[in-house]
């Protein structure tokens, strides 16, 4: 697991949500800007 990428500041309310493409566990790719909104993003900590 790489942690060398630069960490951006936490985006503020009113700012455009940073776009991304990520794979789902089913193997599909999800692009945020092409997805339905409003939407909720939950970033998990370690899974326990």
> Which parts of this chain interact with another protein (CB under 8 A)?
1-3, 5-18, 20, 22-25, 30, 32-33, 35-48
18 alpha carbon, distance to own chain's centre: 8
DSSP symbol at 3: -
Task: Classify 31 as helix, strand or coil.
Answer: strand
Minimum distance, C-beta of residue 27 to another protein, in the bound complex (Å): 9
Cα–Cα dist 26/28, whole Å: 6
């Amino acid at each position: 697991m790489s942690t060398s990428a630069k960490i951006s500041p936490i985006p503020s309310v009113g700012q455009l949500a940073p776009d991304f493409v990520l794979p789902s566990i089913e193997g599909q790719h999800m692009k945020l800007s092409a997805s339905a909104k409003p939407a909720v993003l939950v970033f998990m900590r370690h899974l326990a």
